[in-house]
Amino acid sequence: MEKKEYRKHVISVLVENQPGALARIIELFSSRGYNIESLNVGQTEDPTISRITMVAKGDEHTIEQIVKQLRRLIDVFKVRNLTDKKKLDRELLIVRLNVETAEKKEEVKRLVDIFGAQIVDVSQDTYTVELTGDEDQIDAFLQLIKPLGIREMARTGRVAMVRALQGDTFEDKH
Amino acid sequence: MKLSGAEILLEALRLEGVEKIFGYPGGAVLDIYDRLPFTNLQHYLTRHEQGAAHAADGYARVTGKVGVCFATSGPGATNLVTGLATAQIDSVPVVAFTGNVPTFMIGNDAFQEVDTVGVTRPITKHNFLVKDVKDLADTVKKAFYIAKTGRPGVVLVDLPKDVTREIADFFEEEYKAPPQIRSYKPVLKGHPGQIKKAAKAIASAERPVLYIGGGVVSSGASDLVVKLAEVAQIPMVATLMGLTAVPGKHPQFFGMLGMHGTYAANMAVSECDLLIAIGARFDDRVTGKLSEFAKNAKVIHIDVDSAEIGKNKPVDIPIVGDAKLILEELLPEVEKQVSKNREFLVSREKWLMKIRSWADRYPLYYEPNDRVIKPQFVIEKICEVTNGDAIITTDVGQHQMWVAQYYKFRFPRQLVTSGGLGTMGFGVPAAIGAKVGRPDKIVFCVSGDGSFQMNMQEIVTAVQYSIPIKVAIINNGFLGMVRQWQGIFYNKNYSQVHMDVQPDFVKLVEAMGGVGFRVERPQDVEKVLKEAMTINDRPVVIDFVVDREEDVFPMVPPGGSLKEMILPKYGKKSLEKAV
């Protein structure tokens, strides 16, 4: 077997919107000792079907196996590894920043402008900022505001869809 | 028709064609058991839920139907776990029904409550928690459909007590309509292009080998595989699960491959240039060191489960689908190729001769002895006395491997053994299920002294229902296979493998209402076996006291390549015959 190379994989799964389905999917990763970096579940255009977007680190062979095993789950409609596809890839960040001084306030406003973020909540000494973007944008933003003092943050992890240009939308399960 | 949940369940089972159920009642399933006597379903009360699961499994393996078991909530459900895992890993269709606390108490840590669906998720093909009686019939229908289609497996249906009590509509016609599971569509027909490719590869290979797995047995493809082997002159080897797919005495069959496979089978796979795997999953007990397994061969892999293809070994020609349907397409293609080009059969003849010479030179062998009973000798005698026609169930360990090596099977589904999970305690309850499924056959459970003690209470079940199974305990006073490993790999440090204190099995079995024998001399083996064959109304257990330190050979050390076999010490007699 070739040398194992670990990288981040983005896997998109369409699944019956019913209890237990998510647990089965997560189990395929956890039973192999793979940590799921992020996981997103939400409704699709069909409310009985959920879309799961998960990001996990693993070697190619094992991720391929997981994809195959996901496909054979009874509740799963479609599975796609989006890692090497042209895709729309977003996550949401909400972060509360310390802005005790006027300079800090200005600095945050400036960065918010540049990144197309929004200030969504304000207190005497904090601004809460919301930003949507791909992983790189969010990482870059966080890096810049970190010195200001992050009080609390939450990020959603990725949701992703293949670009329409790609031609096909979603491969069949089998 | 207005019925209670319990009645709906029982009606659905009738419509599924279920006749036999193995189970154990308890509080949460009382409503079901209350209605059970008013049906034609025959229920067998085992002595432990694990026994019920194994019995349903044994029943399914010999009949090809879905096995069914019942258990109550909490400990009833958790006691099923080993049995369900055993059936699931060997792809046996079983549907298990468990009771649970009423829906409004779920999650409360109520008495005898357990998250059964959560516990059994990793060991089932699928499972359901029915929360509304209106969904019950549809769920049962789906459960059976999922269990028996595609790659067969275990489905568990968890039934809260209130669901079995409440009333709902049940319409027979509606139940008979095909199930709708939009996200589950197993692929059965193989890809025609791939099948053509496979036929070409088969015709152009010089040294092909058919590697036959349990999928051949479960899809009913045995005859087609044998025909393929004959048409194209291909040698056959089988996994433990695939053993009965091929007549044990077929001239092109070289026995089991893998850790305790024959020299000829392991060498054939090591030297082949085309490996045709059918319904097999490249288990580590089969492949040994993966990088050396069929190292220079192209690989064709036929399997109904696409997730098995390429899992352990890269595959050149994958064909996803049902083995039988694929072979029906493949066989004519191969015949076409063969008639076009008969010359390649010459090279096949050479290849087969080479494998035969391996088989002759290094046969399965043990040193005969006229004072101590050799375990292999017992298996040979069981085969002789039953004319190779019995259904054999086994437990797990040395005796299991000796059965695989020395019993010559004649028809599919004749061997019931825990291949994937290696479950000790499987043999006796599985034999009960097998005999219930095939009352026309002699059912022999070959067990070990360790394994037998894991579920020997089920002998009482066999007594209660007059199920005349026969049990042969290969008794070496050891956990034999563990001792063998300690002997070879741990410098004979026999840690915790002595079973010095044992029940008197004869008295024990008699106390349970069966018939017991003890055999200590080789010359008595046949006589007692014949006597056991005459007992047809209750279980018989024969305690064969055998050579204590006999090992199973050949043996591929774990992690070794199939070529690195430890061979038995061939006695003079055998080598004279062989060379």
B470-475 β-sheet, strand order: B415-416, B391-394, B443-448, B470-475, B540-545, B515-519
Q: What is the mean pLDDT of residues B517-538?
A: 97
In this complex, do B121 and A24 lie within 8 Å of one another by their Cβ atoms? yes
Reported as a pLDDT band with limits 50, 70 and 90, residue A61 is: confident
Tell me: the pLDDT tens digits for B437-478?
Answer: 999 999 999 999 999 999 999 999 999 999 999 999 999 999
Nearest residue of B to residue A79, measured between CA atoms: B183
Q: Which residue has the higher pLDDT, B418 or B204?
A: B418
Confidence of residue B343 (pLDDT cuts 50, 70, 90): confident
Q: Please, what is the average pLDDT of chain A?
A: 89
Q: CB distance B307–A31 less than 8 Å?
A: no
| Structure token pair of residue B567 | 């061979």
Enumerate the active-site residues of B: 49, 111-112, 161, 481
Q: Is the pLDDT of residue A171 over 60?
A: no
Structure confidence at residue A172 (pLDDT)? 47
Whether A74 and B146 lie within 8 Å, measured CB to CB: yes
At B480-491, the pLDDT tens digits run 999 999 999 999
Whether the CB-CB separation of B265 and B254 falls below 8 Å is answered with yes
Within an 8 Å CB–CB cutoff, is residue A32 touching chain B? no
pLDDT band with cut points at 50, 70 and 90 for residue A169:
low
- What's the rounded Cα separation, in Å, for the pair B391 and B434? 8
Q: What angle (nearest 5°) sits at the alpha carbon of residue A130, between those of residues A125 and A136? A: 120
Instruction: Report which of residues A117 and B579 the model is more confident about.
Output: A117
Q: What is the pLDDT of residue B577?
A: 46
Instruction: Report yes or no: A31 at the B interface, CB cutoff 8 Å.
Output: yes
How confident is the model at residue B579, as a pLDDT? 35
Cα B92 from Cα B504, distance rounded (Å)? 35
Residues B132-161: pLDDT tens digits? 999 999 999 999 999 999 999 999 999 999
Model pLDDT for residues B224-239, shown as the tens digit of each residue: 999 999 999 999 999 9
Which of B127, B181, B306 shows the shortest C-beta gap to A174?
B306
Nearest by CB to residue B307, choosing from A20, A69, A77, is A69
Is the confidence at residue B500, as pLDDT, over 90?
no
pLDDT tier at A166, thresholds 50, 70, 90? low
Share of chain A above pLDDT 70, in %: 92
Indicate the average pLDDT of chain B. Answer: 96
Residues B111-126 pLDDT 10s? 999 999 999 999 999 9
Instruction: Collect all residues of chain A within an 8 Å Cβ-Cβ radius of residue B309.
Output: 68
Regarding predicted confidence, which is higher, B470 or A59?
B470
Q: How far apart are CA B78 and CA B71, in angstroms?
A: 9
Closest-CA residue of B relative to A24 is: B121
Name the pLDDT band for A3 (thresholds 50, 70, 90): low
- pLDDT of A1 > 50? The answer is no
> CB distance B183–A173 less than 8 Å?
yes
**B307 in contact with A, Cβ within 8 Å:** yes
| Contact between residue A89 and residue A158 where contact means Cβ atoms under 8 Å apart | yes
A47: three-class secondary structure by DSSP? coil
Spell out which residues of chain A touch residue B151, defining contact as CB-CB under 8 Å: 72
Q: What is the pLDDT of residues B540-554, one digit of tens each?
A: 999 999 999 999 999
Query: Rounded to 10 degrees, what is the CA torsion of A56, A60, A61, A64?
Result: 60
B263-304: pLDDT as tens digits: 999 999 999 999 999 999 999 999 999 999 999 999 999 999
pLDDT at A4 over 80: no
Residue A130 structure tokens: 């919301």
Q: Are B473 and B448 in contact (CB under 8 A)?
A: yes
CA distance B200 to A76: 35
The pLDDT of residue A174 is above 70? no
Nearest chain B CA: its distance from A73 CA (Å): 8
Contacts of B297 (CB under 8 A, 6+ apart): B209, B272, B273, B274, B275
Q: What is the mean pLDDT of residues B371-391?
A: 97
Q: What is the CA radius of gyration of chain A?
A: 19
Q: Indicate left, alpha or beta for B98 from its phi (over 0: left) and psi (-120 to 50: alpha).
A: beta
Record: contact B290-A69, CB cut-off 8 A: no
- Condensed to tens digits (0 to 9), the pLDDT of residues A20-29 reads 899 999 988 8
The residue ranking higher by pLDDT, B85 or B204, is B85
**High-pLDDT (> 90) share of chain B, %:** 95
Binning pLDDT at 50, 70 and 90, where does residue A65 land?
A: confident
Distance CA B410, CA B249 (A): 8
CA-CA distance, B383 to B29, in Å (whole number)? 42
Amino acid type, A107: E
Q: What share of chain A has pLDDT > 90, as a percent?
A: 67
- For an interface test with A, give the residue of B183, B282, B322 to mutate (most A CBs within 10 A): B183
For the stretch B465-496, what's the b/e string if a residue is b when 16 or more beta carbons lie within 10 angstroms of its beta carbon? eebbbbbbbbbbbbbbbbbbbbbeeeeeeeee
**pTM for this one?**
0.94
Q: What is the pLDDT of residues B8-49, one digit of tens each?
A: 999 999 999 999 999 999 999 999 999 999 999 999 999 999
Single-letter amino acid, residue B247: P
pLDDT of residue B578: 41
Mutate: best of A17, A74, A174, partner B, most B CBs <10 A: A74
3-state secondary structure of B284: helix
**pLDDT interval class at A170 (50, 70, 90):** low
